[in-house]
Amino acid sequence: MPLKLPAILFFLCFSCFARAGGLCSTDTLPFGKKGTVQTGTASWYSDKFNGRKTANGEIFSQSKFTAAHNKLPFGTWVKVTNLRNKKWVYVKVNDRLHYRNKRVIDLSRVAAAKLGMLSSGLARVKVEVMGKKKPAD
């Protein structure tokens, strides 16, 4: 019996390092807390969604700095950094991705343009939670 606890701890530590290449993913942290960081692929909304309601009831506009994220509360501001060119932008979460979507965030056109990802449609990004207040540029 005394061997069970060390085995469980080893498994938990190993799985955390194995999943994230040596760094724990945000799935194991209190996600949404200011300073939480997540990396993954970002995309941007198709123009067909312009003028439609988002999950929180706002009307989506390609000209506003907004985004869809599946784990963060609505109204959370995040800093999204394109890991290829280091360009960044602040966006507010006001929508959800499709539950099968494996991307971490979906951005408005204006945000994607600021990150330099319009032509490619996708970018590897870092998403950092800034909190509920709009950050100062």
Predicted confidence (pLDDT) per residue in 101-114, tens digit: 899 999 999 999 99
Looking at residue 53, the DSSP 8-state letter turns out to be: B
For residues 69 and 67, give the distance between their C-alpha atoms in angstroms, rounded to a whole number: 7
Report pLDDT for 49: 87
The residue ranking higher by pLDDT, 2 or 39, is 39
Does the domain at residues 31-131 carry the CATH identifier 2.40.40.10? yes
Sorted by where each begins, the domain ranges of the chain are 1-29, 31-131
Mean local confidence (pLDDT), 119-135:
95
Give the pTM.
0.76
Predicted confidence (pLDDT) per residue in 73-105, tens digit: 999 999 999 999 999 999 999 999 988 889 999
113 φ/ψ angles, rounded to the nearest 5 degrees: -65, -45
